[in-house]
Structure 1
Amino acid sequence: MSEILNLLKGSLGSEMIRGVARETGQPEDKTADVLQMAMPLLLGAMKKNASTPQGAEGLMKALSSKHDGSILDNLGGLFGGGIDQSVLNDGAGILGHVLGGRQPMVENALSQKSGIDASTIANILKIAAPIVMGYLGRQQSQANIADAGGMDALLGSLLGGQQSQGMDMFSALLDADGDGSIIDDVSDMVQGKKGGLGGLLGGLFGK
């Protein structure tokens, strides 16, 4: 199981799920399902971006300057009066950087799997992205990560260490067989047909 999903366990995760559900007007169970799929996906995208020294340096700079984990200390305040637009703007910026032009594909895939419309999925991702970055920033600080190799190893461990060599969750989800559809690739991975990712994704998408 991906370590990032530990964030959804306990009181902190319950607060996050309730807050996102209230903000987007979705049932808590469906919101939880989307977050369980989206959070490892976002980390996988970050791992892909950090696979070069320049990408890793950019990610570590963002973590040290803005996403140090403090967002996790007051989720009640984050959701209490409705999500501030600055948080949504921050989330949109993170998504644009880590997903790029494939963001609509990701949103549509999560929409088809969850039954929630893609525009709502987009909002859930905007809220989740700064929280995921905050979680990563806290883990980086606790592990005293200061170089690209350490960041790559940290991201791998948070994803559960179940990635097959040379392939990460992000690239696998985004059309692994090159046919223009990521939904069938997800289904194949759930059934264990795409190497080491099957075990990791089976619990997330195989519902």
Structure 2
Amino acid sequence: MNTESLAASLFQQLQQGQGLQQVAQQLGIDQNQASSAIGAALPLLMGAMGRNAQQPQGAEALLGALQRDHAGSAGGGGFDLGGLLGSVLGGGGNATNGAGILGHVFGGNSDRAAQGLSQATGLDSGKTGQLLAILAPIVMSYLAQRFANGGNPAQLSQALGQEAQAAQGQNGSLLASVLDQDGDGQLGIGDLLKLGGGLFGGKR
């Protein structure tokens, strides 16, 4: 059984080839800064998705979005990171609409996510916001490749739930502050309901 987290596996793929260099160039930072920032951003994104997917309707909505919008971008034969990254950086297509995806994932807290990541990485929030928008469609395509064909909401919920636990273990205060929708300093059921209500529901 593969015990490596989804975030760690995707991070490894981004470290190989030209992916890391392309992201660093897009953000105007060096590769070490980009690597550190991606290493913090991926668990944050997947952890937020994991919190959303803990509700049955959240997992169903996410799986539906993966199948509808992102299975094609994952490529018929697997996960084409190079092609997808080129499309994302080139600003093409609905499936690569990072800002739109972030709006669903963070339920209107995209700015708070960028600020929290900025504090964790030392990059300015403009760059971290841009990084999250670059990574969001890549994460969705990666999840589509893993779950869109033959996966079910329960499997997706379980896998992303583990990502959320791992993200809390790695930097729980960052994840909690971003997902604390009502600003009371605690992550309660009200926050989860607000997040789930915005997750991939309705028309984009």
Question: Structure 1: any 5+ residue segments left out of the alignment?
Answer: 183-207
Query: What is the aligned length?
Result: 175
Within 5 Å, give how 1:47-196 maps onto structure 2: 47-68=50-71, 69-70=74-75, 72-76=79-83, 78-79=85-86, 82-86=89-93, 90-141=97-148, 144-146=150-152, 148-157=153-162, 159=163, 162=166, 172-174=176-178
Question: Structure 2: any 5+ residue segments left out of the alignment?
Answer: 187-204
TM-score computed with the length of structure 1 as normaliser: 0.70
Matched residue SS, 2:97 = helix
Matched residue SS, 2:34 = helix
2:21 aligned residue (9, 18, 29): 18
Q: What is the Cα deviation at residue 40 of structure 1?
A: 1.1
TM-score computed with the length of structure 2 as normaliser: 0.70
Q: What is the Cα deviation at residue 155 of structure 1?
A: 1.4
| Larger RCO (CA under 8 A, 6+ residues apart) | 2
Q: What is the Cα deviation at residue 12 of structure 1?
A: 6.0
Q: What's 1:30 paired with? A: 33
1:169 & 1:131 partners in 2: Cα distance?
24
What is the letter of the counterpart of residue 55 of structure 1? G
Q: What is the Cα deviation at residue 48 of structure 1?
A: 1.5
Cα distance change, pair 149–123 in 1 and its aligned pair in 2 (3 A): same
Cα distance change, pair 29–172 in 1 and its aligned pair in 2 (3 A): same
Matched residue SS, 1:145 = coil
Cα distance change, pair 67–114 in 1 and its aligned pair in 2 (3 A): same
After superposition, the CA RMSD in angstroms is 3.4
Select between 108-117 and 91-100 the one with higher mean Cα deviation: 108-117
1:118 & 1:163 partners in 2: Cα distance?
20
1:33 & 1:15 partners in 2: Cα distance?
16
Q: What is the Cα deviation at residue 120 of structure 1?
A: 1.1
